[in-house]
Amino acid sequence: MNYSTRSNALNQYRQVNVHGSVPEASPYQLVQLLFQGGLDRLATAKACIAENDIAAKARNITKALNIIGELRGSLDLEVGGELAANLDSLYEYMGRRLVEANLHSDVAILNEVSSLLGEIKSAWEAIPADQREPRR
């Protein structure tokens, strides 16, 4: 994650109102925080649908879309090869599904995207500690 991407991720994470030591976070931790922020926004959007709070639902889905966009934008398609390309496609799919979920207030779609994002988050967290920081 280069400086510009790290700065964008940091700003995106601040915009979703998450607390913690973001300024000191490593690139690995920033991505971890973005995953959690996206999952939190999706959970809140589901609650907003249940409460028929359409405006708050839309705000939270938009924030989740922005987070997924930031995750997608942080991919290095040249260095990441097939894995990065697959993640890029998956993030793009998730974005399309969230637009649909927003249009139809569809909790099932939010559950689908939450599940996909949760799986990626779990894989990210399984990266061995000695491989979490970029090689210099």
Q: Which domains does the chain have, with CATH numbers?
A: 3-127 (1.20.120.340)
Would you say residue 3 has pLDDT above 50?
no
- pLDDT on residue 2: 46
pLDDT, tens digit (0-9, with 9 covering 90-100), for 54-63: 999 999 999 9
Instruction: Tell me the helix, strand and coil percentages in the chain, rounded to 5.
Output: 80, 0, 20
Q: How confident is the model at residue 24 (pLDDT cuts 50, 70, 90)?
A: confident
Tokens 């793009």 label which residue? 92
pTM, two decimals, is: 0.81
User: Using CA atoms, how far apart are residues 45 and 38, in angstroms rounded to an integer?
Assistant: 11
Tokens 């939010």 label which residue? 110
